[in-house]
Amino acid sequence: MSAPIRVTVWNEFWHENPQHHAEIRSLLLNYGFSDERLKNATEGVQSIYPEGMHTVISAHLREQGFEVRTATQDEAEHGLTEDVLAETDVLTWWGHIAHDEVSDKIVQRVHERVNMGGMGLIALHSAHYSKIFRKLMGTSCMLKTREADEKERIWVVEQGHPIARGLPEYFEIPQTEMYGEPFDVPAPDTLVFVSWFQGGEIFRSGCCYHRGRGKVFYFRPGHETLPIYYQPEVLQVITNAVRWAAPSGGPELIFGDHPPLETLE
């Protein structure tokens, strides 16, 4: 209760980083992106988050009294060494364009730290398709998308859940990318938010999962081309989720051969 929760804010950090812009452009050209969209996905993101999304999120979490560090994909071992993970209570994850570049070995390490160690994981927005989230879910984790800068209204549907702390009954993201159902994840242990989109879709936007000793929260908002991680309600949710996902201090998982606790005649 007393020691501050230790958060590692992880970011792919490609969209905001000019060193990756050429690569991003060439990747997105394959999807037939227009010049404007290519620019949005590179210089556009950089102008909103000049030092990376992780810097904005981590600054906010520090203000909340958490002990915060950041890590990015380009660092050695993606910044997620054994030591860093051992000192991390909750890991927030943002990735998008370079999911496949994340090392399977590190994914396995993070998985174990969640499942066996009890570290919390908060998957943000496009992290729905990160290797670590897909591995923890067991489904395709795919969904519908549309980039039209339309309105999203996020409704609380489990008002007693700690992740709804301090929120109004709904809040709006004035301009966002749409994510629509089917969102191919297992039904969450607790569904906290459902989104309404202007274009006619709905989405399960706040999903809680227990996985072994760990807790996982998926939170939808956060498209990189829009200043969503500056929005107070979004930051409030991330703060709440960090508190909820922190290790609970429950028993370790003990597997394997087990002598009888009662006499077997």
Window 149-168: residues binding its own copies (CB under 8 A): 150, 153, 155-162, 164-168
For residue 137, give both structure tokens. Answer: 């879910």
Which stretches within 43-101 are classed as H helix?
Answer: 45-48, 53-63, 82-86
Based on the shown chain and the rule CB under 8 A, indicate whether residue 190 belongs to the binding site for its own copies.
Answer: yes
Based on the shown chain and the rule CB under 8 A, indicate whether residue 37 belongs to the binding site for its own copies.
Answer: no
Based on the shown chain and the rule CB under 8 A, indicate whether residue 6 belongs to the binding site for its own copies.
Answer: no
Interaction residues for its own copies, span 120-149 (CB under 8 A): 135-140, 142-146, 148
Based on the shown chain and the rule CB under 8 A, indicate whether residue 25 belongs to the binding site for its own copies.
Answer: no
Residue 72 contacts by C-beta under 8 Å, 6 or more apart in sequence? 10, 11, 12, 13, 52, 54, 78, 79
As beta bridge partners, residue 85 has: none
Based on the shown chain and the rule CB under 8 A, indicate whether residue 217 belongs to the binding site for its own copies.
Answer: no
Q: Considering CB under 8 A, how many residues would be counted as binding its own copies? A: 76
- Which span (7-15, 66-74, 111-119, 222-230) binds its own copies, by CB under 8 A? 111-119
Q: 98, 197 in Cβ contact below 8 A? A: no
| Residue recorded with tokens 């897909």 | 134
Based on the shown chain and the rule CB under 8 A, indicate whether residue 221 belongs to the binding site for its own copies.
Answer: no
224 vs 126: CA distance, rounded Å: 9
As beta bridge partners, residue 211 has: 214
Based on the shown chain and the rule CB under 8 A, indicate whether residue 35 belongs to the binding site for its own copies.
Answer: no
User: What is the end-to-end Cα distance of the chain in Å, rounded?
Assistant: 46
Based on the shown chain and the rule CB under 8 A, indicate whether residue 234 belongs to the binding site for its own copies.
Answer: no
Give min distance, CB of 110 to its own copies, in A: 13
Choose between 80 and 143: whose C-beta lies nearer to its own copies: 143
